[in-house]
């Protein structure tokens, strides 16, 4: 049983033991604080062999360190706070290990000034190599001091440190009385401080004091350690300030009326804010008035905007325009010592350090490339804040104790690089470490460097599949809740048992439907496809022409306008495909069963049937509702093998061959018209098995002839349907377009190609672009052409749905497909726009009347806005999911290699350089379809004109082929795994 | 907290729900508490005590006003004053109980007792709750059946708060009842305890109360029966028993202190009486 005692505090001690002071909170409330402390005599000095104090095995050696030239009798050093604040690197060095007495006063001051530094210091005290003893001087009766009137907290602490030093020296003397006949061998305790005033005062009261430099110069390994010293004089340590009024860090926004008037008058400009993912101090806003986006440089000019906000910017006069920086500036590394606690001196002492660092970053760049409009944010039209998936930054925690219920202010680092860190207050910070959490931003005050938010909920352990998956869905705003009862009630009552009723004149299903059940129809899809929404057939006609048909699942038969299922589908917009999960737009009964055109089952369909000449000229087209029974469901591969097998002469195979010949002709025509053959990095993830879903490996998707077959007929169907519905409903037809990209988008790529490869890119039209892309071939590098195509694709705009009455007829065109008109018709199970097109087509052929909502332009516009957004998000979510699995696969591959070879578990791959920075290169690993960044710790010789960076003797340029080592490393603070790349060839960058 | 079993209430004794951490609420808002280490590596708490060291206790049993019995106690900076009136005739008949005395506990918390000045009315929920806790703690301890149809008034005033308000209230009430000469079965000695990580410790200050899971127990030293346990925070079930037993032991230590104070007071009174009688004789 532990001994329980009552500590008696005599009244006379009250002056030293009790403290009362008033404190003003951030909200301006005044609070009285009462504290007491119990002074004691059993606080151990921590020096071995001390007669009076209890010592443990952690104690400092009895005679201190005798290796320093200035202290032959041995010494201990007692550092002041500023030593740790400015010379932490030195203290952390393995060569620097004299016995250190760390005062509680110092420890607390470090904690108050910078939590990250405090956490580093705490880690040091626990290390075996370091000899550090923490002396709780504030609790020892001889060394405890009280702040005197008029004394600053800093002076008080300095005095406390001096007093403790003096006490130590006398304590050593008392506990080791001189033995007669032997010269005194007393070690000394030396005060180490960077503060000259403190040193002077110490020497006045005859306490040995030294500066860090002076001390290190006398050490054994002086030459090595001197390098670690922070430059002298540059770090003027300001005294800790008492509570001061908080300063505004950002300018206030202009009033809304001024903004509106300014935008109207053309003085201010409105647009979406896009953060720069490589440099957190830069962002841009695209505004209609300028061809190039308006550049925002620095925190102050970005003025508290978050990616996605709609903002109003003021553009500076042209003389102040700048070019974007060519440097990678990482928020995490620049701000790693920033403190989460919302302290009053954010704008002062520690704030300055960050600001100095940042302004250095901003000014040091020799911005070489072209200048573009530059400005600052003066107001916000609309915040687009949502919930962000974040990790807790463990260094910002004040207490990582699991039972602690105290409220802490911590940083939540968003997964997305585009977002600033968010400051949140929580009582459960320790348990949230290593978890993915959801955080929303509440506000961002002018006085606060970071936005403030709150914790919403935890998603689960980092790197657990469920958490990653859910965080992906949340991050891209994908609605993933299961379908509600009202929605499921809209399904046919028969459920799984639903079948096409037997043909009869009275059955509503058969009304005006063509019976195509005898037709040789098949479907070709990727392996494992469950929602088959298209099937094809082709047969020769007696007149020598060919009949080809595309049969699309008749979703509009099941999903009627103005039902709960319809509105849910409209708000979901699209089915989202992740590597290991599909988030359906429609309940799976429809998607994978009733609407899915499975083989050997009768299904309702919407058919487009062409009569074509053998040269693939369309003679006529008709659309009809039908009933089909697919004869086979092939994968691309199966269909290909069947087509290529000369022994097979059955009807199914011949029809595939017929389709293929037509498709090739269609494609040739399309290409001749100027369609682009674009490329995007697509990879496939091999999953181990359905249950574990551990990725085995990554490979690039293969493209077969049959892929193109299906694609051509789908395009044909879409174009034909687009013509039909536009003709019938000129005001409200649901169409899809791809605007030609502005020429300026290509400028950079053209320049790079010209300078690096001597190639020209003609962007005058899609046809010219297609032709010149075909010319961009490097005979040695087959992958080079793909890379150029990927880069060209990135310069283009994205395709979008629109309502035909909302835009001019001359802008209907689809740039990439070189088609004057286009829509989406062929995947109604997974895209909502197709459902609308189905309804319109059905009305156009007089099968059903058109629902009044589809006659209303504003309604269609509204629905398509949502669908467009969802479509974009779904694409990004899918890509992010692939990226996550590529990461997992890399890790798996690395581990396997480790087992086999015993070497470090890394993966090396070939990559192309796609961007160069002052301090790094951006690379693209085509085999894995991922992009990465190789960072160098210091600036290299950089030539922005020629897109090269010279490291040592080697010059790396854009489009160069390099070999990179890819590792998945866990961020120490946030526990999130991230892909880290370093160069292996032509130079090894691991040490740089 | 990872465990699935978590105690919020335990049936060791009569449980009184009591929102102790509410006292600490204002402190957490200011974020002050978060900069203080609850238990540092040297084994010291934020005020220089070690785990099992209780704060300084000061007991004053001198007469206050015309109360029948009064006591003021301070645990560190927490200071509570209790005056007891009675047993006396109940003021209104509705409150009289035919076979025992009625306990009437009224608690007032001084506006200046907390960090932020805040006046609390007598109808305040928290105030009612603490008063209720005190009342139900003492009902079985006071031999109320000796005084049927009468009333005992206990007026509790919290002068200053720094954690452990309930414990101070109960201890002061015990002493005031004793000084009023009201027959009780035993002393009631209360103490708070908490757990930081896996380390239990006793007699929490305000900073500690707002940070760690904590409980207050009141123990009757003679029988070692527990007459009150309250816990408002969540505590791991494995830690509960340890801190519970520790708090009982601490209650016994406090009992020693309280007994000494009562004896000292009695001695002073006795000497005064002796002096009075002797002095009187000599005068004659």
What is the per-residue pLDDT across B48-68, written as a single tens digit (0 to 9) for each? 999 999 999 999 999 888 999
Cα angle value A889/A892/A893 (rounded, 5°): 85
pTM, two decimal places: 0.66
The alpha-carbon gap from B194 to the nearest alpha carbon of chain A, in Å, equals 10
Q: B34–A33: do the CB atoms touch at under 8 Å?
A: no
Residue pair A461/A435 in contact (Cβ under 8 Å)? The answer is: yes
- Best CA proximity match to B195, nearest among B234, B166, B249: B234
Query: Is pLDDT above 50 for B242?
Result: yes
The alpha-carbon gap from A118 to the nearest alpha carbon of chain B, in Å, equals 12
Cα–Cα distance list, A777 to A17, A660, A676, A703, A787 (Å):
82, 28, 16, 20, 10
Give pLDDT, residue A358: 62
- Please tell me what DSSP assigns to residue A364: H
The alpha-carbon gap from A101 to the nearest alpha carbon of chain B, in Å, equals 13
d(CA B163, CA B203): 8
d(CA A750, CA A760): 7
The alpha-carbon gap from B211 to the nearest alpha carbon of chain A, in Å, equals 4
Give pLDDT, residue A343: 47
User: What residue has token string 């795994």?
Assistant: A977
d(CA A443, CA B41): 37
Give pLDDT, residue A985: 77
Give pLDDT, residue B146: 93
What is the per-residue pLDDT across A541-552, written as a single tens digit (0 to 9) for each? 999 999 999 999
Cβ neighbours around B162 below 10 Å, total: 26
Q: A136–B197: do the CB atoms touch at under 8 Å?
A: no
Give pLDDT, residue A363: 59
Residue pair B50/B118 in contact (Cβ under 8 Å)? The answer is: no
Domain boundary assignment for chain B: 12-283
User: What residue has token string 């909302």?
Assistant: A806
Strand partners, A663: none
What is the per-residue pLDDT across A207-238, written as a single tens digit (0 to 9) for each? 888 888 888 888 877 777 777 776 554 444 44
Query: Is pLDDT above 70 for A695?
Result: no
d(CA A585, CA A830): 6
**CB-based contact, A728 to chain B, within 8 Å:** no
Q: Which two tokens stand for residue A420?
A: 């600033």
Q: Which helix (H) or strand (E) holds A75?
A: strand A75-79
Query: Is pLDDT above 70 for A121?
Result: yes
Task: State mean pLDDT over A56-70.
Answer: 80
Residues 554-583 of A with CB under 8 A from B: none
Higher pLDDT, A448 or A353: A448
- Chain length of chain B: 284
Task: State mean pLDDT over A486-503.
Answer: 87
Q: Which two tokens stand for residue A22?
A: 């008033």
Query: Is pLDDT above 70 for A366?
Result: no
To 10 degrees, the CA torsion angle through A145, A151, A154, A160?
A: -20
Task: State mean pLDDT over B98-114.
Answer: 91
d(CA B241, CA A482): 44
A470 pLDDT band, cuts 50/70/90, is confident
B178 pLDDT band, cuts 50/70/90, is very high
A593 pLDDT band, cuts 50/70/90, is confident
User: Which of the following CATH numbers is that of domain A246-327+365-384: 3.40.50.80, 2.40.50.690, 3.90.1150.10, 3.40.50.300?
Assistant: 2.40.50.690
User: Which of the following CATH numbers is that of domain A39-226: 1.10.1270.20, 3.40.50.720, 3.90.1260.10, 3.40.50.1010?
Assistant: 3.40.50.1010
Residues 127-156 of B with CB under 8 A from A: none
DSSP letters spanning chain B: ---S-EES--TTS-B----GGGGGHHHHHHT-GGGS-SB-TTS-BTTS--TTEEPPEEEE----TT-SEEEEEEETTEEEEEEEEEEEE-SSGGG-BTTBPEEEEEEEE-GGGSSS-----TT-HHHHHHHHHHHHHHTTTB-GGGSTTEEEEEEEEEEE-SS-HHHHHHHHHHHHHHHTT--BSS--EEEEEEEETTEEEES--HHHHTTS-EEEEEEETTTTEEEEEEE-S-EEHHHHHHHHHHHHHHHHHHHHHHHHHHHHHHHHHHHHHHHHHHHHHHH-
Residue % of chain B over a pLDDT of 90: 58
Beta-carbon contacts below 8 Å between A and B:
135
Question: How large is the angle between the packed helices A705-728 and A651-672, nearest 10 degrees?
Answer: 70
Strand partners, A941: A950
Least confident of A18-22, A309-313, B267-271: A18-22
B82 pLDDT band, cuts 50/70/90, is very high
Task: State mean pLDDT over B85-89.
Answer: 89
Give pLDDT, residue A938: 66
d(CA B266, CA B61): 10
Give pLDDT, residue A825: 94
**CB-based contact, A407 to chain B, within 8 Å:** yes
- Chain length of chain A: 992
Give pLDDT, residue A871: 92
The domains spanning A39-226 and A906-985 adopt the same CATH topology: no
Q: Which helix (H) or strand (E) holds A684?
A: strand A683-687
Query: Is pLDDT above 90 for A47?
Result: no
Query: Is pLDDT above 90 for B119?
Result: no
**CB-based contact, B209 to chain A, within 8 Å:** no
Give pLDDT, residue A661: 92
Q: Which of A319-328, A481-490, B142-151 has the highest mean pLDDT?
A: B142-151
Residue pair A818/A673 in contact (Cβ under 8 Å)? The answer is: yes
B27 pLDDT band, cuts 50/70/90, is very low
SS3 at position A140: strand
Task: State mean pLDDT over B205-233.
Answer: 91
SS3 at position A317: coil
Q: Which two tokens stand for residue A30?
A: 């005044």
Q: Which residues of A touch B33 (CB under 8 A)?
A: 406-407
Query: Is pLDDT above 80 for A325?
Result: no
B166 pLDDT band, cuts 50/70/90, is very high
**CB-based contact, A28 to chain B, within 8 Å:** no
What is the per-residue pLDDT across A620-664, written as a single tens digit (0 to 9) for each? 999 999 999 999 999 988 899 988 888 888 888 999 999 999 999
SS3 at position A570: helix
Cβ neighbours around B37 below 10 Å, total: 20
Give pLDDT, residue A235: 42
Task: State mean pLDDT over A15-23.
Answer: 82
Task: State mean pLDDT over A340-348.
Answer: 47
- Asked if residue A90 has a cis previous peptide bond (ω within 30° of 0), the answer is no
Residue of chain B with shortest Cα separation from A3: B52
Residue pair A500/A608 in contact (Cβ under 8 Å)? The answer is: no
Give pLDDT, residue A336: 60
Question: How large is the angle between the packed helices A115-125 and A104-113, nearest 10 degrees?
Answer: 140
Q: Which of A124-128, A172-176, A572-576, B36-40 has the highest mean pLDDT?
A: A572-576
Contacts of A516 (CB under 8 A, 6+ apart): A549, A551, A605, A607, A626, A627, A628
Give pLDDT, residue A354: 58
Contacts of A63 (CB under 8 A, 6+ apart): A73, A74, A185, A187
What is the per-residue pLDDT across A102-115, written as a single tens digit (0 to 9) for each? 999 999 888 887 77
Q: A425–B196: do the CB atoms touch at under 8 Å?
A: no
Q: Which residues of A touch B114 (CB under 8 A)?
A: 32
Cβ neighbours around A494 below 10 Å, total: 9
The alpha-carbon gap from A971 to the nearest alpha carbon of chain B, in Å, equals 24
Give pLDDT, residue A276: 83
Give pLDDT, residue A694: 54
Strands A75-79 and A188-192: parallel
Work out the end-to-end distance of chain B between its first and last CA atoms, rounded to an integer number of angstroms.
Answer: 76
d(CA A826, CA A833): 10
Task: State mean pLDDT over A49-56.
Answer: 78
Average pLDDT, chain A: 82
Q: B38–A35: do the CB atoms touch at under 8 Å?
A: no
User: Which of the following CATH numbers is that of domain B12-283: 3.30.230.70, 3.30.310.160, 2.102.10.10, 3.40.50.720?
Assistant: 3.30.230.70
d(CA A90, CA A76): 17
Residues 430-449 of A with CB under 8 A from B: 431
Residue A336 phi/psi, 5-degree rounding, is -70, -25
Query: Is pLDDT above 50 for A306?
Result: yes
Task: State mean pLDDT over A970-977.
Answer: 59
CATH of domain A906-985: 2.40.50.140
Give pLDDT, residue A73: 84
Q: Which helix (H) or strand (E) holds A751?
A: helix A747-752
The alpha-carbon gap from B88 to the nearest alpha carbon of chain A, in Å, equals 37
Query: Is pLDDT above 60 for B10?
Result: no
**CB-based contact, B38 to chain A, within 8 Å:** yes
B6 pLDDT band, cuts 50/70/90, is very low
Residue pair A763/A773 in contact (Cβ under 8 Å)? The answer is: no
Cα–Cα distance list, B119 to A889, B110, B115, B240 (Å):
63, 7, 12, 35
Cα–Cα distance list, A560 to A838, A839, A915, B167 (Å):
11, 9, 50, 69
d(CA A112, CA A260): 44
Query: Is pLDDT above 70 for B34?
Result: no
Q: A4–B233: do the CB atoms touch at under 8 Å?
A: no
Q: Which two tokens stand for residue A319?
A: 């003389």
Query: Is pLDDT above 90 for A351?
Result: no
d(CA A480, CA A466): 13
Q: Which two tokens stand for residue B242?
A: 């340890």
Give pLDDT, residue A103: 93
Task: State mean pLDDT over B261-277.
Answer: 90
Domain boundary assignment for chain A: 39-226, 246-327+365-384, 485-672+703-739+800-877, 906-985
């Amino acid at each position: 049983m532990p001994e329980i005692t009552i500590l008696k505090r005599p009244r006379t001690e009250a002056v030293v033991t009790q403290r009362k002071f008033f404190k003003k909170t951030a909200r301006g409330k005044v609070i009285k604080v009462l504290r007491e402390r119990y002074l004691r005599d059993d606080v151990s000095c921590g020096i071995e062999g001390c007669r009076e104090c209890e010592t443990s095995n952690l104690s400092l050696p009895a005679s201190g360190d005798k290796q320093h030239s200035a202290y032959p009798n041995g010494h201990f050093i007692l550092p002041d706070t500023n030593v740790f604040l400015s010379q932490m690197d030195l203290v952390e060095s393995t060569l620097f290990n004299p016995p250190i007495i760390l005062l509680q006063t110092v420890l607390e001051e470090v904690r108050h000034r910078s939590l990250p530094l405090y956490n580093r210091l705490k880690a040091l005290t626990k290390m075996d190599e370091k000899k550090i003893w923490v002396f709780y001087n504030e609790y020892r009766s001889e060394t405890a001091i009280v702040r005197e009137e008029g004394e600053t907290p800093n002076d008080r602490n300095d005095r406390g440190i001096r007093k403790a030093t003096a006490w130590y020296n006398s304590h050593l003397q008392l506990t080791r009385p001189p033995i007669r006949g032997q010269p005194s061998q007393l070690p000394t305790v030396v005060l180490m401080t960077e503060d000259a005033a403190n040193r002077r005062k110490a020497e006045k009261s005859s306490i040995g004091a030294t500066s860090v430099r002076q001390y290190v110069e006398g050490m054994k390994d002086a030459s090595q350690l001197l390098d670690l010293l922070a430059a002298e004089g540059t770090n003027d340590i300001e005294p800790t300030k008492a509570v001061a009024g908080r300063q505004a860090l950002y300018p206030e926004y202009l009033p809304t009326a001024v903004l509106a008037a300014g935008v109207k008058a053309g003085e201010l400009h409105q647009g979406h804010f896009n953060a720069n993912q490589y440099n957190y101090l830069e962002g841009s806003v695209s505004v209609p008035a300028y061809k190039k986006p308006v550049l925002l440089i620095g925190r102050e000019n970005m003025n508290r905007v978050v990616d996605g906000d709609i903002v109003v910017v003021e553009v500076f006069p042209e003389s102040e325009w700048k070019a974007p920086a060519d440097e990678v500036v990482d928020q995490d590394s620049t701000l790693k010592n920033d403190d989460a606690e919302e302290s009053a001196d954010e704008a002062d002492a520690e704030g300055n350090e960050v600001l100095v660092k940042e302004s250095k970053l901003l000014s040091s760049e020799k911005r070489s490339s072209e200048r573009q409009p530059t400005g600052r944010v003066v107001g916000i039209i609309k915040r687009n804040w949502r919930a962000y998936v974040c990790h807790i930054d463990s260094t910002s925690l004040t207490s990582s104790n699991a039972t602690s219920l105290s409220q802490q202010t911590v940083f939540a680092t968003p997964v997305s690089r585009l977002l600033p860190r968010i400051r949140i207050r929580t009582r459960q910070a320790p348990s949230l470490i290593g978890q993915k959490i959801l955080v929303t931003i509440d506000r961002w005050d002018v006085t606060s460097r970071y936005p403030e938010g709150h914790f919403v909920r935890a998603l689960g352990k980092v790197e657990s599949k469920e958490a990653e998956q859910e965080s992906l869905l949340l991050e891209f705003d994908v609605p993933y809740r299961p379908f509600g009862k009202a929605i499921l009630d809209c399904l046919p009552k028969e459920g799984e048992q639903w079948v096409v009723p037997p043909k009869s004149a009275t059955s509503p299903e058969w009304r005006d439907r063509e019976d195509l059940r005898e037709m040789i129809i098949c479907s070709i899809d990727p392996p494992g496809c469950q929602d088959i929404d298209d099937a094809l057939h082709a047969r020769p006609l007696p007149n020598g022409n060919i009949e080809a048909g595309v049969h699309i699942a008749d979703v509009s038969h099941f999903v009627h306008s103005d039902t709960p299922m319809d509105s849910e589908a409209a708000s979901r917009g699209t089915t989202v495909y992740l590597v290991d999960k599909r988030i359906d737009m429609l309940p799976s009964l429809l998607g994978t069963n009733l609407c899915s055109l499975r083989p050997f089952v009768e299904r309702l369909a919407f058919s487009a049937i062409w009569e074509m000449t053998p040269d693939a000229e369309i003679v006529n087209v008709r659309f009809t509702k039908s009933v089909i029974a697919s004869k086979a469901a092939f994968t691309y591969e199966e269909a290909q093998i069947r087509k290529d097998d000369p022994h097979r002469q059955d009807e199914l195979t011949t029809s595939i061959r017929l389709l293929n010949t037509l498709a090739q002709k269609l494609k040739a025509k399309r290409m001749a018209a100027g369609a682009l053959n674009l490329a995007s990095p697509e990879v496939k993830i091999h999953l181990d098995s359905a249950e574990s879903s551990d990725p085995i490996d990554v490979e690039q998707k293969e493209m077969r002839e049959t892929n193109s077959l299906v694609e051509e007929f789908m395009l044909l169907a879409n174009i034909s349907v687009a013509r039909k519905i536009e003709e019938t409903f000129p005001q409200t037809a649901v169409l899809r377009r791809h605007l030609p990209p502005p020429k300026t988008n290509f400028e950079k790529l053209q320049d790079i190609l010209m300078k690096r490869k001597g190639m020209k890119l003609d962007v005058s039209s899609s046809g010219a672009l297609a032709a010149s892309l075909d010319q961009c071939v490097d005979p040695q590098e087959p992958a080079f052409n793909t890379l150029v195509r990927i880069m060209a694709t990135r310069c283009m705009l994205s395709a979008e749905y629109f309502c035909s009455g909302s835009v001019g007829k001359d802008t209907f065109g689809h740039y990439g497909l070189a088609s004057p008109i286009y829509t989406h018709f062929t995947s109604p199970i997974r895209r909502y726009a197709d459902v609308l097109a189905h309804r319109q087509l059905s009305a156009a052929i007089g099968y059903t009347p058109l629902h009044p909502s589809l006659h209303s332009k504003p309604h269609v516009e509204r629905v398509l806005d949502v669908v467009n957004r969802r479509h974009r998000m779904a694409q990004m979510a899918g890509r992010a999911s692939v990226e996550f699995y590529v990461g997992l696969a890399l890790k798996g591959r690395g581990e396997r290699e480790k087992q086999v070879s015993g070497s470090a578990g890394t993966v090396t791959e070939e990559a192309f350089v796609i961007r160069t920075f002052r301090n790094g290169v951006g690379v693209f690993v085509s085999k894995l379809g991922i992009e990465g960044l190789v960072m160098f710790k210091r600036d290299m010789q950089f030539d922005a004109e020629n897109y090269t960076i010279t490291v040592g003797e080697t010059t790396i340029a854009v489009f160069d082929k390099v070999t990179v080592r890819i590792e998945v490393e866990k961020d120490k603070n946030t526990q999130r795994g991230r892909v880290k790349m370093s160069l292996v060839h032509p130079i090894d960058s691991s040490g740089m | 907290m990872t465990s699935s079993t978590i105690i919020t209430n335990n049936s060791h004794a009569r449980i009184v729900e009591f929102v102790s951490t509410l006292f600490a609420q204002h402190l957490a808002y200011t974020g002050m508490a978060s900069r203080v280490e609850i238990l540092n590596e040297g084994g010291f708490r934020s005020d220089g005590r070690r785990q099992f060291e209780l704060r300084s206790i000061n007991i004053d049993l001198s007469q206050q006003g015309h109360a029948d019995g009064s006591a003021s106690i301070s645990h560190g900076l927490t200071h509570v004053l209790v005056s007891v009136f009675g047993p006396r005739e109940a003021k209104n008949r509705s409150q009289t109980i035919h076979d025992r005395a009625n306990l009437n506990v009224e608690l007032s918390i001084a506006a200046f007792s907390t960090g932020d000045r805040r006046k609390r009315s007598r109808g305040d929920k928290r105030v009612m709750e603490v008063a209720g806790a005190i009342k139900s703690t003492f009902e079985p301890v006071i031999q109320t059946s000796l005084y049927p149809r009468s009333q005992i008034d206990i007026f509790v005033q919290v002068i200053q708060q720094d954690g452990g308000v309930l414990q101070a209230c109960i201890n002061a009430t015990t002493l005031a009842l004793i000084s009023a000469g009201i027959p009780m079965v035993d002393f009631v000695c209360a103490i708070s305890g908490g757990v930081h990580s896996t380390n239990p410790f006793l007699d929490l200050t305000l900073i500690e109360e707002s940070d760690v899971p904590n409980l207050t127990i009141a123990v009757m030293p003679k029988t070692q029966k527990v007459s009150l346990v309250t816990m408002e925070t969540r505590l791991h079930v494995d830690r509960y028993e340890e801190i519970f037993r520790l708090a009982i032991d601490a209650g016994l230590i406090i009992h020693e202190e309280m007994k000494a104070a009562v004896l000292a007071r009695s001695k002073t009174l006795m000497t005064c009486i002796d002096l009075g009688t002797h002095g009187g004789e000599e005068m004659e």
